[in-house]
Amino acid sequence: METTSKGEKPAVLVVEDDKEERKMLEILFRDLGFRVDSCATYESAMRVVHKNEHDHMLVIVDIHLKGMKSGFDLVRAIKEAAGDRVISIVLTGDESNVVDQEAQMAGAYAVYYKAKDSVDRLVTFARHNPIWETMDKLAEDEMTKLDNFRQFRKKSMASLKTTKDRKHPEVLSIIFIDIDNFKVLNDQYGTTCGDEVIREVARTLKMHVRPSDYLCRKAGAGDEFLVLLPDTDEETAAKIGEKYAQQVGNTFVSYEEHFKVRFSVSFGAAQIRCEEIDDPGEGLTELIRRANVRLTKAKEVKKVGR
């Protein structure tokens, strides 16, 4: 399964032990434009979920499955393994409050009853439910509204896979960006001002990234950003990084009405060539590591220059 980008429908996994019903649902969702996998057992479903570890998924699961484990067991296991990136809907022919309670306790998003809920209702849910907005938010950094690292990783791995498989583009680069002395800034002006600095850096970067590039706020530190640049060598990426730094240096945030807080960023740029990519995930990790090494050196040069 290919990964999804922000704003697209997630992949659908149909888990149903009745072959005819499974095929019907598979065809139904595929005709609606969803990417669909289907299977009949707990074990097969978990293999699909783990295989597509960076996809947002909608899992439609019957409570009665082949084997020792039930659909409720599957929903619980998916919730534990994948968290909010996978949303489960339970299908059942049993009408009882017990089913509702068990589904809710297992972590299901909704229950659909085969006897009373028409297929049209399931279609309406799939096409128009606000769940898709939730999926978009899961791909977004709440503070900056940029892609979060998970979404960035999905897009970047897809780009690296294309490079590996097609040998084109021949090279990709990453720019690793860090706000200078952010802890000092936070201590001096407070976290509210620090948060606004992060937002301003994000806004500035977003204004100047190329349409083909991927930008995210990096998880963890909070004051770091990543930009993946397909079909761009390290030298060109470094020049682009200089432009980012200049643009950020021209901005400020207001503090206590009349005081302007100015700030700067450092960056490191690194490249990876198609022949170096054996595994997209490992390739991305290595590319980020290289860029981080360049970033550390850039920060050391700034300290010496003071």
CATH classification of the domain holding 133: 3.40.50.2300
163, 90: one domain: no
Q: Give me the pLDDT at residue 5, please.
A: 46
Q: Give me the pLDDT at residue 173, please.
A: 97
Which amino acid does the sequence have at 94? D
Q: Give me the pLDDT at residue 4, please.
A: 42
Q: Is 144 part of any domain?
A: no
Q: Give me the pLDDT at residue 210, please.
A: 94
Q: Which is it for the CA torsion 205, 206, 208, 214, positive or negative?
A: positive
Could you tell me the residue range of the domain that residue 235 belongs to? Answer: 149-305
Q: Which residues of the chain have pLDDT under 70?
A: 1-9, 53-54, 128-129, 131-136, 221, 305-306
Domain count of the fold of the chain: 2
121, 165: one domain: no
134, 192: one domain: no
Q: How far is CA 200 from CA 13, 41, 189, 261, in A?
A: 40, 49, 15, 11
185, 298: one domain: yes
Q: Give me the pLDDT at residue 52, please.
A: 77
115, 261: one domain: no
Q: Give me the pLDDT at residue 132, please.
A: 65
Its pTM stands at 0.65
- Using left for φ > 0, alpha for ψ between -120 and 50, and beta otherwise, residue 190 falls in left
CATH at residue 162? 3.30.70.270
